[in-house]
Amino acid sequence: MKFGGGCLRDGRSVAQACAIVSAQKPAVVVVSAVSGVTELLLTAIDQAKRHERNIPPVLSALADRHAGVIDELCPGRIPKKRLQGEIAARISRVERLLTGIAFHGDLTPAVRARLLSFGERLAARLLAGVLESLETRATALDADRAGVCTDDNFESASIDRGRTRRLLRPRVAPLLRAGIVPVIPGFFGRGPGGAVTLLGRNGSDYSAAAVAYAMGAERLEVWKDADGFMSADPGRVPTARRLERLSFAEAAELSYFGAKILHPRTVEPLAGTCTRVFVRNMNDPGSPGSEIVAGRPGRAVDVAGIAANARLAVLRVHGAGIGSKPGLLAGVSSTLAGAGINIHSVLTSHTCINLLLDPTDAARGLKRLKSATNGVIKKVELEENLALVGVVGERIMEKEGIYARIFAAVARERINVEMAAAGASPVACYFLVRKA
């Protein structure tokens, strides 16, 4: 069972999460940081780089965020004291790391990853402590020590599911047999050399799937403070429906295109297994949520869902004959990769390469590519006014007329399609329109 930051917001929501765990154990629990804590740690890093005196206020904010929940929830004095002590011990490690950054003025990716992992480490202690005080035996087990194994990418690592199973299972299974709920922090693991690596923002979902794989779990339940996968963002589309079932590929594509419900890589570690995957609403535990299935979901409608993403920038690389110059695309992408910039998607023609990037990478990408202009590349431009709409469904590439319906619907609203891509995934297509 995985609980996201939105489920760990205050005393009431933590109590609700604990009630769900107690009712369903035996279970292994994976947690995100308490809501807002990862952001707080990011601020802490910025502040520490500026000056050492900026550290204490962030540390007290971090302490208060957790103390508030403990005060509201732990009835017994002894467990409460012990839990407060455990939290304080971890916050003092954060303090030491931040002081190091303040002195050094800079930080390595390894230190940054270690520091950001503390949001989840704290949340795991917190949840285990509250479970204990409610008389459910539980113990927090740090993910790097428990054996969540990854490659050596510090910012967005990939799970090594084979190694994770070999290491984690022998450590976790005995706890379960003894009737203890293991609480494992999500979001990070250990690289090949043992250093802390991060699984990318919202990566705890992905951690949970790795743990489910390692344990050969019957089911993975990802608990959220939302209904599950929806046919569209209910904030924008009042008629949006909950999807009862969707395929692994549909879940991955919807998440990739901007449905904020699940990390896009969540289901990867479970490929080829019989583990059932559910996304469930903590505030409505009677509802089955959405089930993500390995095969075809079997659905009457062609389109499962639509997601949009306005946090996007497009780099346009212009030049005559771009489409017939061997190695050009390789040059462009290795220039960006060299700067640690991820390309979300590429659309090319004879005269232009369009690269879809995260907006936080856009300015750097533009600078890098401008300095790389050569005989073929004439101009590089940044376009920040576009948003992407992704349309996802298992049958989308198989059935005639679906595209016609999509684009006709957009045209009826007098919206121009600036770019479009289809066929890259058998279950999805996307197009770009003006943000407005």
Sequential DSSP letters for 105-169: SS--HHHHHHHHTHHHHHHHHHHHHHHHHTT--EEE--HHHHT-BB-S-SSB--B-HHHHHHHHH
Is residue 202 close enough to count as binding ligand ASP by CB under 6 A?
yes
Is residue 204 close enough to count as binding ligand ASP by CB under 6 A?
yes
Question: How far apart are the C-alpha atoms of 415 and 403, rounded to whole Å?
Answer: 15
Q: How far is the CB of 436 from ligand ASP (least distance, A)?
A: 29
Please, which of residues 91-120 interact with ligand ASP by CB under 6 A? 119
Q: Which stretch binds ligand ASP (CB under 6 A): 30-38, 128-136, 155-163, 310-318?
A: 30-38
Is residue 133 close enough to count as binding ligand ASP by CB under 6 A?
no
**Nearer to ligand ASP (CB atom), residue 187 or residue 430:** 187
Is residue 187 close enough to count as binding ligand ASP by CB under 6 A?
yes
Is residue 186 close enough to count as binding ligand ASP by CB under 6 A?
yes
Question: How far apart are the C-alpha atoms of 104 and 215, rounded to whole Å?
Answer: 41
Q: How far is the CB of 206 from Mg ion (least distance, A)?
A: 12
Question: How far apart are the C-alpha atoms of 377 and 49, rounded to whole Å?
Answer: 38
b/e per residue 189-203 (b: at least 16 CB within 10 A): bbbeeebbbbbbebb
Residues in the chain, total: 436
* Residue of closest CB approach to ligand ASP: 204
Please identify which residue in 203, 228, 264, 365 interacts with ligand ASP, judged by CB under 6 A: 203
Q: How far is the CB of 34 from ligand ASP (least distance, A)?
A: 9
Q: How far is the CB of 202 from Mg ion (least distance, A)?
A: 6
Q: How far is the CB of 355 from ligand ASP (least distance, A)?
A: 25
Q: How far is the CB of 38 from ligand ASP (least distance, A)?
A: 4
Question: How far apart are the C-alpha atoms of 215 and 169, rounded to whole Å?
Answer: 6
* Inter-residue contact 127 to 29 (CB < 8 Å): yes
Is residue 35 close enough to count as binding ligand ASP by CB under 6 A?
no
**Residue 240: strand, helix, or coil:** coil
Question: How far apart are the C-alpha atoms of 340 and 65, rounded to whole Å?
Answer: 33
**Token digits of residue 363:** 């300015």
Is residue 30 close enough to count as binding ligand ASP by CB under 6 A?
no
Is residue 186 close enough to count as binding Mg ion by CB under 5 A?
no
CB atoms within 10 A of CB 9: 17
**Nearer to Mg ion (CB atom), residue 32 or residue 133:** 32
Task: Report the interface residues with Mg ion, using CB under 5 A.
Answer: 5, 32
Q: Rule CB under 6 A: which residues touch ligand ASP? A: 5, 32-33, 38, 119, 186-187, 201-204
